[in-house]
Chains A and B, each alone.
Chain A
Amino acid sequence: MYAYDYSSDEILIERFREGDDLAFDLLVRRYEQKVYQLAYRLTNNPDDAADVAAEAFLRMYNSLKRFRGDAQLSTWLYRVVSNVFFDFRKREARHQHIPLELSTEDSDETMELPIEDENIDIMGHAMQEEQKRVLMEAIQQLPEYQRVMVVLFHIEERPYEEIAQILGLPLGTIKSRLNRARNALRELLEPYRELFGVETSPTIGQPQEANDAL
């Protein structure tokens, strides 16, 4: 039987340090959903995500005594998850080759999406689902650091300052690297512009105004 404990994190950490393993169990319950969620976004695989989460909590167990408390526990845990993920990827990279192109369900062609008025909602829904799938796959193609940044900022909606703490990088570096990551993501998504409701191909040219003036 499990009852929610309203003790703050620091109280639970203190209890854990004094030898109370129940406090650790409570901390795990408090954060496992968050930790799993981040791990899933990074790995895009439920099994790998659970492995990353389990390893992250193991590291928490082993190092909670040294936790200095100069960041929120959630921030610190995000940092641990990111590190576990980097380690997993390093191990993985030794074993397999990572595909460089996004897969589509039927062919390599960009999907054609004929939209008819009567089933516009069904198509709208299907497009949204497809958009999510394509986005997740594109995120998986980003280099690890960029992936972590995009997931933390755009999906987990963590502020820049916290991401800087999580990755141990200066704020300016986070902002510029995140910008690079977004551009990389946009390049990966170029074949799917229609799926995002954007039609025109981006030809770089003079502003319309300038053309009109000529």
Chain B
Amino acid sequence: MRCEQVRNLLNEYIEGSVSGAMRDRVQAHLDACTACRGELEFFQAIWRGLSAMPEVTPPADLHGRIMTHVRANARVREAHQRVAFWRWAGAAAVAAGLFLMGFFAAQSDSVKGENFPAPVQKKKPEIEMPQPVQAGVFIVYRQAENGARLPVLEARMNREVTAELYYAPDPETKAESMVVWQGKLQPGKTVEIPLQMHLQHSKERVLTLWWVFDGQKRVLFVPAGYPPAKIASVRLQAKLGDALRQLASLYQTPIEWVPNGEEPLVVLDVEDATLEGALHQLLIGSTYGVKRHGETWRVVSK
């Protein structure tokens, strides 16, 4: 291969989208050519420099500035009067009900990650409906002052539930298992559980947590979240739980798995796939589907 050809491919080479024989040829050229290797290093350093840009702190008055600009220039909104407080409160209660049901009760096998959820129905739900235990578990990442991303588990329930969250490197034997959090979750209250400390003690790049309440068991694979991979080539053959842990680690994206009693052996062979694509591929033919829940991907029974 000529240097010019190789240099045109360097960025794709860095992100891993040059595949197969072409990748081997580029690699062979790089092994032999100091100048192109220098060029590769330069691009790599630029990529690193860009992704290491620190977060920017907005000015303290940003919110006020935005709202002032909006109030001063907004088009007058037609038809609707401002709602009275009681009406707003009523709407909020209905919204909260819809929110919980929409997110936690619906069992869908389609991948919805990139689509904006369907518009909220105007129809009011039956409020007296008996509510099954519905758990909302999110992994959110908080930016630390040093730029590190710190995973925090946010849990909320629609009725009082006793729950236990534990860390077990080997869930079969529960050897070395450690309770991370234990207690009552109250409806409407969010419990935040920082996970950074446990992640640091975990030997892997991803923390495996078990989350138990009312006999239901869920598994959470929590990576540090950095650096996140957008696309990756994955080849694996493993039991579903292991496969999900590997994907969480590879993409540095949290995955929650709600086992339905089946843990099939899965095979995955994808190139340059997004996590969404990889999960979709992984679960074909299984009894599981995937949904996105904030930053967390949930693998649940179809």
Contact = CB atoms under 8 A, between A and B. Distances in A.
B66 A28 contact: yes
Interface string B69-92: 110011101001111000010011
Interface residues of B, number: 69
A135 B81 CA distance: 49
Contacts of B99: 6-8, 11
Most B CB within 10 A of own CB, among A193, A196, A206, A207:
A207
Contact of B228 (A10, A157, A204): A157
Q: Is the interface of B mostly helix, strand, loop or mixed?
A: helix
B63 A28 contact: yes
B35 interface: yes
A186 B69 contact: no
A196 B49 contact: yes
Nearest to A47: B59
Q: Is the interface of A mostly helix, strand, loop or mixed?
A: helix
Interface of A: 6-11, 14-15, 17-22, 24-25, 28-29, 32-33, 36-37, 40-41, 46, 49-50, 53-55, 57-58, 61-62, 68-73, 128, 131-132, 135-136, 150, 154-155, 157, 159-162, 165, 179, 182-183, 185-186, 189, 193, 196-210
Interface of B: 3-4, 7-8, 11-12, 29, 31-36, 38-39, 41-43, 45-47, 49-56, 58-59, 62-63, 65-70, 73-75, 77, 80-83, 88, 91-92, 95-96, 98-99, 102-103, 114-120, 156, 190, 228, 230-231, 274
30 contacts: A6-B99, A10-B117, A14-B95, A14-B120, A18-B91, A20-B82, A32-B58, A32-B66, A36-B56, A37-B55, A50-B66, A54-B68, A54-B69, A57-B69, A62-B74, A69-B117, A136-B53, A154-B50, A155-B50, A159-B230, A159-B231, A160-B231, A193-B42, A200-B38, A201-B38, A204-B35, A205-B35, A208-B32, A208-B33, A209-B33
